[in-house]
């Protein structure tokens, strides 16, 4: 008897088409993988721009003339020979860099653990004082003198730095490398400035001016030869602190100022091109970030540290989804826009941001089909989006710093010329270019009621009383 039931035939068809669908999907998946592998078969070569950024700067100083090595060991134990140890550790760090990120990280942990000094000087006290900070220090002289005694070792080490003939930062551009401790230098500079002000208050004018000159030379020397953005910003803050003290001394001690007005004006002179340039610092930051891209496989699970080959299940990611050179080339292109902007005197930061946005759109695409841009080097592009550089604010911070020096210099010119209060507004409005707003060459603001000169910067600053953008210099 023939089976005329329809269901077996129906399920056979379902099974048949299901198998065909599964096989088709598997073949399609294999095709996608093959296309993906074919597209990502090779990494790019490093571009000429990338290679130029990765090139380490030439060491121009003999070790024995470079004060950087003292800075490097400024927090070391009392009995540590600073120069010898600094030279030795810099060379050891360079050798370890060839062994990979893990070796550098281990060395950095040991180096940080070995630091023995924790200097207690508080350099930020004047940021909270609306009035004259020199006057405040005189009222708290006993407390400050005790702190100076506690930090005598820091003062001695800063004196060693100032006695060195030159300075060049020698820093490994690697995210795992050690950064020198800049905070103690900031404290030491502030302590020296404070001592200079106390000496001038005591009538020891020559001694005070010598200390200010020594500090000015060191800070500007470090500014000219800074490799990193953090170094640049710390030294700018130290120079601004000195300018504030000069401004306040001129008001507190008219006789001292009248006899030394030109000397004090030299201490607040404008930044030189090297002092204000961020080109070397941006190049260092770019090199460091590119090195992190180039070592990303080693620093993550994308590569087995023993064999140097990606291991399962990250083998596909390690071998095909991340290309170190391609990623480094893209980040170099972004940094190059910033570096070139830093070289321009009349730089338009908003225009640079627009250029960076256009470059980002070109790299990552936009619209419905933007995902197609991720077919090549997908992991690299995801990391790139997170790590896109946006360090343009430092350009405005530097120009704000220049503006503050101009503001104090304008104050000293008014005091030196003994301009009557009724004529100050006219004097300010007709001031030369070097005493005007560095952004648009407009005059600084004179507040007749408070008898203060004011400038509104582009960036907020902890050096301003409210942490805002307005810098203030008083004429009384």
When pLDDT is averaged across residues 245-271 and rounded to a whole number, the result is 97
Residues 441 and 431 sit within 8 Å (Cβ to Cβ): no
Give CA–CA dist 167/220, Å, rounded: 10
Give CA–CA dist 303/175, Å, rounded: 18
Q: What is the pLDDT of residues 306-351, one digit of tens each?
A: 555 555 555 555 678 888 899 999 899 989 988 888 887 666 777 7
- Asked if the model's pLDDT at residue 163 lies above 80, the reply is yes
Peptide bond before 219: cis, by omega within 30 degrees of 0?
A: no
* pLDDT at residue 372, rounded to an integer: 74
Residues 335 and 53 sit within 8 Å (Cβ to Cβ): yes
Chain centre to alpha carbon of residue 196: 29
* pLDDT at residue 3, rounded to an integer: 53
When pLDDT is averaged across residues 116-121 and rounded to a whole number, the result is 82
* pLDDT at residue 281, rounded to an integer: 94
- Asked if the model's pLDDT at residue 302 lies above 80, the reply is no
Q: 122: how many CB neighbours lie within 10 A of its CB?
A: 12
When pLDDT is averaged across residues 150-162 and rounded to a whole number, the result is 96
Chain centre to alpha carbon of residue 475: 33
| Percent of the chain whose pLDDT exceeds 70 | 87
Q: How many residues does the chain have?
A: 476
Sheet holding 452-456, edge to edge: 445-447, 452-456, 470-474
Lowest pLDDT segment from 136-140, 349-353, 470-474? 349-353
Q: 455 forms bridges with which residues in the sheet?
A: 471
Residues 249 and 133 sit within 8 Å (Cβ to Cβ): no
- Whole-structure pTM value: 0.87
Give CA–CA dist 361/363, Å, rounded: 5
Domain spans of the chain, in order of start: 63-269, 280-391, 400-476
Higher-confidence position of 128 and 18: 18
Q: Quote the Cα angle for 186-192-197, to 5°.
A: 125
When pLDDT is averaged across residues 214-236 and rounded to a whole number, the result is 95
Lowest pLDDT segment from 5-9, 87-91, 294-298, 445-449? 5-9
Give CA–CA dist 201/33, Å, rounded: 78
Tokens of 148: 């100076």
Give the 3-state DSSP-derived string for the chain, with helices as H, strands as E and coil as C: CCCCCCHHHHHHHHHHHHHHHHHHHHHHHHHHHHHHHHHCCCCCCCCHHHHHHHCCCCCCCCHHHECHHHHHCCCCCCCCCHHHHHHHHHHHHHHHHCCCHHHHHHHHHHHHHHCCCCCCCCCCHHHHCCCCHHHHHHHCHHHHHHHHHHCHHHHHHHHHHHHCCECCCCCCCCCCCCCCCCHHHHHHHHHHHHHHHHHHHCCCHHHHHHHHHHHHHHHHHHHHCCCCHHHHHHHHHHHHHHHHHHHHHHHHCHHHHHHHHHHHHHHCCCCCHHHHCCHHHHHHHHHHHHHHHHCHHHHCCCCCCCCCCCCCCCHHHHHHHCCHHHHHHHHHHHHHHHHHHHCCCCCCHHHHHHHHHHHHHHHHCCCCCHHHHHCCCHHHHHHHHHHCCCCCHHHHHHHHHHHHHHHHHHHHHHHHCCCCHHHHHHHHHCCCHHHCCCCCCCCCEEECCCCEEEEECCCCCCCCCCCCCEEEEECC
* pLDDT at residue 280, rounded to an integer: 93
């Amino acid at each position: 008897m023939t089976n005329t039931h329809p269901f077996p035939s129906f399920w056979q068809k379902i099974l048949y088409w299901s198998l065909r669908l599964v096989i088709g999907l598997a073949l399609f998946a294999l095709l996608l993988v093959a296309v993906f592998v074919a597209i990502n078969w090779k990494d790019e070569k490093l571009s000429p721009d990338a290679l130029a950024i990765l090139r380490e700067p030439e060491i121009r100083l003999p070790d024995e003339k470079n004060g950087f090595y003292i800075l490097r060991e400024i927090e070391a134990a009392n009995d540590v020979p600073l120069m010898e140890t600094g030279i030795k550790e810099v060379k050891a760090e360079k050798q370890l860099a060839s062994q990979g990120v893990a070796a550098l990280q281990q060395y950095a942990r040991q180096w940080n653990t070995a630091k023995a000094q924790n200097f207690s000087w508080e350099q930020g006290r004047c940021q909270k004082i609306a009035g004259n900070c020199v006057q405040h220090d005189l009222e708290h002289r006993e407390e400050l003198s005790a702190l100076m005694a506690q930090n005598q070792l820091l003062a001695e080490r800063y004196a060693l730095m100032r006695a060195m003939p030159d300075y060049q930062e020698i820093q490994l551009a690697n995210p795992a490398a050690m950064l020198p401790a800049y905070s103690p230098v900031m404290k030491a500079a502030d302590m020296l400035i404070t001592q200079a002000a106390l000496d001038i208050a005591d009538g020891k004018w020559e001694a005070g001016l010598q200390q200010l000159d020594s500090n000015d030379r060191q800070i500007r020397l470090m500014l000219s030869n800074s490799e990193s953005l953090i170094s640049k910003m710390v030294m700018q803050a130290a120079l601004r602190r000195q300018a504030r003290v000069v401004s306040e001394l001129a008001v507190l001690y008219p006789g001292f100022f009248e006899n030394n007005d030109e000397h004090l004006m030299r201490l607040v002179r404008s930044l030189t091109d090297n002092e204000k340039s961020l080109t070397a610092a941006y190049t260092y930051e770019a090199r460091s970030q590119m090195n992190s891209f180039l070592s990303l496989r080693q620093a993550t699970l994308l590569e087995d540290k023993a064999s140097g080959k990606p291991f399962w299940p990250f083998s596909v990611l390690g071998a095909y989804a991340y290309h170190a050179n391609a990623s480094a080339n893209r980040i170099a292109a972004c940094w190059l826009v910033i570096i070139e902007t830093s070289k321009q005197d009349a730089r338009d930061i908003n225009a640079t941001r627009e250029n960076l946005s256009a470059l980002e759109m070109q790299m990552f695409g936009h619209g419905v089909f933007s995902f197609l841009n991720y077919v090549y080097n997908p992991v690299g592009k995801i990391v790139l989006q997170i790590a896109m550089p946006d360090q343009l604010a430092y350009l405005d911070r530097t120009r704000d710093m220049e503006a503050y020096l101009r503001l104090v210099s304008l104050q000293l010119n008014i005091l030196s010329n003994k301009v009557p209060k009724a004529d100050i507004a006219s004097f300010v409005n007709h001031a030369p270019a070097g005493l005007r707003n560095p952004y648009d060459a407009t005059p600084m603001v004179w507040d007749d009621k408070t008898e203060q000169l004011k400038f509104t910067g582009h960036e907020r600053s902890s050096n301003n009383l409210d942490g805002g953008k307005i810098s203030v210099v008083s004429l009384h």
